[in-house]
Amino acid sequence: MATHLGKEGYLKVSTTTVAEIRDYSLSQTAAQVDDTVIGDEWTTSKTTLKSWSASGSVFWDEVDAGQLALTIGSSVTLNLYPEGIESADTYYSGSANVTQFDITGRHDSMVEASFSVQGNGQISTLTV
C-alpha cells in the first residue's frame, strides 16, 4: 500500500499551478433518501445525487496567475494532484465555481489566503 507526503501535492486551475499552496482538501458526498417501510426493523436508504467541493490555503501572492484565477463567482477547472505530477500519478479534475476567497494577515505571520470551490458536475479520477 502506497503512502504519500503532503508536500508532493499540486493544485492547478486549468493548466496553471497555484503557487505557495499550504494545504488543500477535497470532499465528495452522496445524498441519501430513506426507503424504510413499515415492517422493517432497520432503516435503509438509497444514494441519490453526488457532489464535491474543495478548499485550500496559500501564502498570498498578488501576481500569481493561479491565485488570480480563483476569483469569486468564476467557473474554473480544478485539478488536484495529491501524489504529485509524475507519470502514472493519480489526480482529480472537475469544473467548479469559486464560492469564497479570503485574505488574512497578522503582525507576526505571513499574509495568507484561503479559497473554497463547489463542484459543478462530476469530478473525475485520472492519471498523469
pTM: 0.87
Per DSSP, 68 falls in state H
Cβ neighbours, 10 Å, residue 125: 9
Please check the confidence at residue 1 and state whether its pLDDT lies above 80.
no
pLDDT for the residue 79: 97
pLDDT for the residue 54: 97
Q: Are 125 and 92 in contact (CB under 8 A)?
A: yes
Q: What angle do CA 3, 64, 77 make, to 5 degrees?
A: 60
Q: Residue 24 is placed in which grid cell?
A: 488543500
